[in-house]
Amino acid sequence: MHVPSSIRAAVDRVVPADDRPGGWDGGVAAYLADSPDLGWAEPALARLAERLDALAGERPFADLEPGRQDELLRGLEHDDDFAALRRVVFEGYYAARQDATPAGLELAGFRAVPEGVTPVEPDLVPDVGSRGVRRSYDAIVIGSGPGGGVAAQLLTEAGRSVLVVERAARVPSAALRGDHLRGKRNAVYRPTAGPGAGHPRVAILPEGDRVLDGTDDAWLYGLNADAMGGGTRLWQGMAWRFMPDDFRMRSVYGNPDGASLADWPVSYEDMEPYYSRAEQELGVAGEEGALTARTPRSAGYPMPPFGTEPARELLAGAADRLGWGWGPIPLALNSVPHDGRPACVRCPQCVGHACPVNAKNGSHNTFLPRAAATGNLDVLYDAEVVEVRDGADRAAVTVMADASGQPVELEVDAEVVVVAAGAVETARLLLASGIGNDHMGRHLHDHRFVSMLGNADHVVKPYVGPGHSVATLDHVHAGTIPWGGGVLVDLLSLFPLTWAANPMPGVPRWGAGHKAWMAGPRANAFGVFGMGQEIPMPTSRVTLADVRDRWGRPGAGLRKLVHATSVEVEDGMAARGEEWLLEAGVRDVFRQRGTATASAAGEHSCGTARMGTDPAESATDPFGRPWGSRRVVVCDSSLHPTNGSVNPTLTIVANAFRVAEHLVATWPAAAAGRTA
């Protein structure tokens, strides 16, 4: 990109040089020269250059004194073209990128990998390749996330031949971390965790439909990671059990008008053995105490909790004074060496990024390697099942694979097809295949989220991982927040780019004051994060849209509405979060506001193939079989009738053990099961 001298000068006023480099030498020059993603900014910067030189008068803007340059730029603070410049400067100066370490990272005290740590790569299950796929298997599993991984492990350990079809390519972990512009949770451009171009969805919004591809806005598209291991490749690993009342929400709270609250067809007591197995086989570090008091256990955690840190100390003291219970968050990360892999090195970018030392536990390094060790597993990467056919004697799928850039169509049959592609893609595939009743695709929901921020007297959340550390469950099913409430946790350390683009109130939005804040007081910014129940609605759903993916199949249409009761949950969490922070001595507390209505899949999406005992109220039976089908089983978050008030992955794993265990125990009778 050609950069006029006036823009180069303006870059160094947005981030001025002092004892540290200014914006141009600190990373922006290289970013403008190398980034393939700045085509959107070039016209804005050209217009801004012309305006700056015109405002400068007789002398070019670049030749003016810095004070005069600042004066002219302040006059443009609400201008869209100047906003584009600030964005480009902050991306270039404060965002970690592949093969780039701009000066803003050191200024903010951020180091992606702790000193002395040598990254390692997990030994992913090999790719069988399209030529290695057999014509028939005992089972085909669609998706390699926590549900699909568990199903593959149990089926192969039972002696069944299994083909796992994974949409993502077989990429190393190094390609899935360290880029703060393309990480799945913080993607500004083309998310590294896919799915990439050729996977369109339509967000059905109040202001009109918006077509999104897999390279677009990751928040609106949906935050489910497209990688071997699914979301467990990139998650922070919060591994909670749902509470007993989470399994009977309708019985406890009733069903408000316009909602579709339902009880699970299983109880906490039914699920408890599977929770214990999930914690052991996945590998969870935790502590029995206040956070486990209402979830009786048959086994302890396999690893001790992570050690304390300043945020935990601060909020624990405040919780004690408020009379609230608290504890260290259970994490599916190695707090000590475990399962032949090292302990977490406490890097500051666990959430949304692959682990540098393979200490993050997920389907990719637990369930699927165990399945492969049986000799009964094939995994086909960079491929998609585009149709499932449910027959009386056999099921079959059509698989589209990418072989050296050329599409290859494969027909594969099996006794059973296990669909574990996530709440959006599972529903899309089954709807496109003509499988399922009117509930298939409906009841799409996630969680409600709230962030409360303020300023602490000292640094309580430095850039030391793994992230969230301390929590209270005292406002879950406790009456202090309606409709089941939510968990409150400490807010993790936000990346430098996030803080630069969204400074605290009263902080200059650019210039010397902004840089000084980034280098100092920013580290005292601290908050509490709430995650609570989202009440499902039948009108929030996945449908088939009038767009086609790279294989010519219909993309998903996403309509996501928010029930008034869910807003009550948000407001309740905000009030309790503010109370916690104020008791901790945090000043200037405010609620970070976003859009009131979520309109995409979110990151904890569930419910689109919800299980139940009656086809009039559910999409599948209690063991994941779509009503009316014979040889198809769903085994992922789609089955969850409700989503609790904590991260759902441990429940996905536990329920997958239950569903897959039943499939193994009833094989092959289950394959010819009921057709109600």
Q: What are phi and psi of 529, to 5 degrees?
A: -115, 135
Q: Mark which of 49, 71, 94 sits at the end of a domain.
A: 94
Residue 323 has pLDDT above 70, yes or no: yes
| Same domain, residue pair 31 and 171 | no
Give me the sign of the Cα torsion angle 655, 660, 665, 667: positive
Report pLDDT for 219. Answer: 80
What would the two tokens of residue 394 be?
Answer: 């056999």
Report pLDDT for 381. Answer: 96
**What does the pLDDT look like over 368-383, one tens digit per residue?**
999 999 999 999 999 9
Report pLDDT for 600. Answer: 67
Whether 178 and 497 have beta carbons less than 8 Å apart is answered as: no
Residue 200 has pLDDT above 80, yes or no: yes
Residue 225 has pLDDT above 90, yes or no: no
| Same domain, residue pair 145 and 229 | yes
Q: Is 456 exposed, middle or buried (0-12, 13-18, 19+ CB in 10 A)?
A: buried
**What does the pLDDT look like over 267-289, one tens digit per residue?**
999 999 999 999 999 999 999 99
| Same domain, residue pair 88 and 157 | no
| Sheet with strand 208-214: strands edge to edge | 208-214, 196-205, 554-559, 541-548
**What does the pLDDT look like over 18-71, one tens digit per residue?**
999 999 999 999 999 999 999 999 999 999 999 999 999 999 999 999 999 999
Residue 154 sits in a domain whose CATH number is: 3.50.50.60
Mean pLDDT for 531-541 is: 97
Residue 72 has pLDDT above 90, yes or no: yes
Mean pLDDT for 599-603 is: 71
Quote the CA–CA distance of 85 and 89 in Å, as a whole number.
6
| Same domain, residue pair 146 and 83 | no
Full domain range(s) for residue 379: 130-187+223-234+362-442+603-672
Q: What are phi and psi of 613, to 5 degrees?
A: -105, -5
222: confidence class by pLDDT, cuts 50, 70, 90: confident
Residue 596 has pLDDT above 50, yes or no: no
Confirm whether 45 is domain-assigned. yes
| Same domain, residue pair 63 and 139 | no
**What does the pLDDT look like over 89-119, one tens digit per residue?**
999 999 999 889 999 999 999 999 999 999 9
Q: What is the chain's mean pLDDT, rounded?
A: 95
| Same domain, residue pair 12 and 57 | yes
* Comparison of pLDDT for 362 and 99, the residue scoring more: 362
310: confidence class by pLDDT, cuts 50, 70, 90: very high
Residue 672 has pLDDT above 60, yes or no: no
Q: Mark which of 94, 109, 142 sits at the end of a domain.
A: 94
Confirm whether 662 is domain-assigned. yes
Residue 246 has pLDDT above 60, yes or no: yes
| The CA-based dihedral angle spanning residues 149, 153, 156, 162, taken in that order and rounded to the nearest 10 degrees | 0
Confirm whether 228 is domain-assigned. yes
Residue 598 has pLDDT above 50, yes or no: no
Confirm whether 269 is domain-assigned. no
410: confidence class by pLDDT, cuts 50, 70, 90: very high
| Same domain, residue pair 80 and 162 | no
Confirm whether 485 is domain-assigned. no
Whether 221 and 214 have beta carbons less than 8 Å apart is answered as: yes
Report pLDDT for 669. Answer: 66
Whether 644 and 533 have beta carbons less than 8 Å apart is answered as: yes
| Same domain, residue pair 22 and 163 | no
Report pLDDT for 597. Answer: 41
674: confidence class by pLDDT, cuts 50, 70, 90: very low
Q: Mark which of 94, 118, 147 sits at the end of a domain.
A: 94
| Same domain, residue pair 134 and 227 | yes
Q: What are phi and psi of 544, to 5 degrees?
A: -95, 125
| Same domain, residue pair 87 and 17 | yes
Confirm whether 252 is domain-assigned. no
Angstrom distances, CA of residue 177 to CA of 40, 218, 224, 260, 510: 25, 16, 16, 38, 28
Quote the CA–CA distance of 290 and 471 in Å, as a whole number.
10
Quote the CA–CA distance of 3 and 9 in Å, as a whole number.
10
Confirm whether 537 is domain-assigned. no
| Same domain, residue pair 80 and 172 | no
Whether 213 and 198 have beta carbons less than 8 Å apart is answered as: yes
Quote the CA–CA distance of 461 and 312 in Å, as a whole number.
9
| Same domain, residue pair 75 and 170 | no
Total domains, the chain: 2
Quote the CA–CA distance of 450 and 276 in Å, as a whole number.
30
670: confidence class by pLDDT, cuts 50, 70, 90: low
